[in-house]
A = this chain, B = another copy of it.
């Protein structure tokens, strides 16, 4: 396989009721990424789009060809990848294979999701398709209730309280304050966190991500293309690892409900490819959809022991200047979680961190970042390792 580099990024401001069609949002992000990479459209061999809900909420599928057309790429090899909330990163996984495998020298990966133009009821139902409908959905479960089950079980098993989860949300909101394209710009304190509306006991409003719209894109390319397109003074960013791991969708079918095996498998594969260990990871841009998922991800990915993940970061370890920064641009919690686009936003943000262009949100001198995007409550887990090259 050939080495693959991330050479261009584009993102739209995360909004509600953007008043702009989804295809144009996606095309805007793609256009920005192409301009940022400084390459020509004709150099691109493929467009892979991550999306989850457009078929239900926008009556629109076949987004690959549709967006290609609007983005000035008609004719290009194109398709859509779906793995619920990890669709964006799964699309990037295909992009990595197509470049690394020798099929294309440069490709564009986009993620797009519009979730606010339909009723909250419809959006909730669309999101519930990420769970196991026959085992969970038909019983009335939705993502909030499934995460509530996990959180409640964790609290009972390890004897922790709601307050123990608060620092994850507070850190994300702190980081989100200075992300200009982020959705929320709201300082959060423990009192507000604890008193926020109960969605499904014990999940409160500030344990969960906001519903919003967004589109992001990245350009992946060979070393040769990357060198030609290299931005003056910026280091090259290599995709040193890329892997998907899976687990059952239904919580009750899992080996152990509080152990995210998909995270463990996916992380291990990606670290092995990169030839690094957990201790080498300078940023863990994780899937903080719910504070319980942050907790379980830290454990399953090997950064905290079982039952200790919830306490990780209480001494500032997860802040931008801590030993393992997470949610560095606000995460899903504050930047927002336009589901099929989230994984691509994460790659965009991590590129910024590794090139030292994250502005106020800059983490000091990171070399390796683990970027993780999760579908469902842990069923499809996509991990990428991005590495800053000399």
Give A contacts to B, CB under 8 Å: 1, 21, 23, 46, 52-56, 58-62, 64-66, 68-69, 74-84, 90, 93-94, 97-98, 100-103, 125-126, 128-130, 132-134, 137, 243-249, 253, 261-262, 265, 269, 375-376, 379-380
Contacts and interface: CB of A to CB of B under 8 A. Distances in A.
A46 B245 CA distance: 10
29 contacts: A1-B101, A46-B244, A53-B55, A55-B129, A59-B133, A60-B132, A60-B134, A61-B130, A62-B379, A62-B380, A65-B247, A65-B375, A65-B380, A66-B249, A68-B246, A69-B249, A74-B246, A75-B261, A75-B265, A76-B246, A78-B83, A79-B83, A79-B380, A80-B81, A80-B83, A81-B82, A94-B94, A97-B98, A98-B101
Nearest to A59: B133
Contact of A78 (B77, B78, B244): B244
The number of times this chain is found in the oligomer is 2
Given A66-B379, A97-B103, A101-B103, A129 B79 contact: no
B56 A83 contact: no
Contacts of A78: 83, 244, 246, 380
B101 A90 contact: no
A66 B265 contact: no
Contact of A79 (B59, B66, B68, B90): B90
Contacts of A93: 77, 79
**SS class of chain A's interface: helix, strand, loop or mixed?**
mixed
B66 A61 contact: no
A21 B134 contact: yes
A103 B132 CA distance: 29
A228 B76 CA distance: 36
A248 B83 contact: no
Contacts of A56: 55-56
Contact of A244 (B23, B55, B79, B125): B79
Given A75-B247, A247-B75, A97 B90 contact: no
A81 B65 CA distance: 13
Chain B CB within 10 Å, residue with most, of A77, A126, A246: A246
A69 to B, nearest CB: 5
A90 B91 CA distance: 13
B246 A376 contact: no
A246 B137 CA distance: 35
B1 A74 contact: no
A277 B376 CA distance: 46
A249 B52 CA distance: 19
A349 B380 CA distance: 31
Contacts of A60: 129, 132-134, 137
B129 A246 contact: no
B1 A246 contact: no
Nearest to A68: B246
Contact of A101 (B23, B101, B128): B101
Contacts of A80: 81-83
Given A55-B129, A97-B97, A249 B102 contact: no
Contacts of A21: 134
A278 to B, nearest CB: 20
A341 B1 CA distance: 30
A379 B21 CA distance: 19
Contact of A83 (B59, B64, B94): B64
A69 B380 CA distance: 11
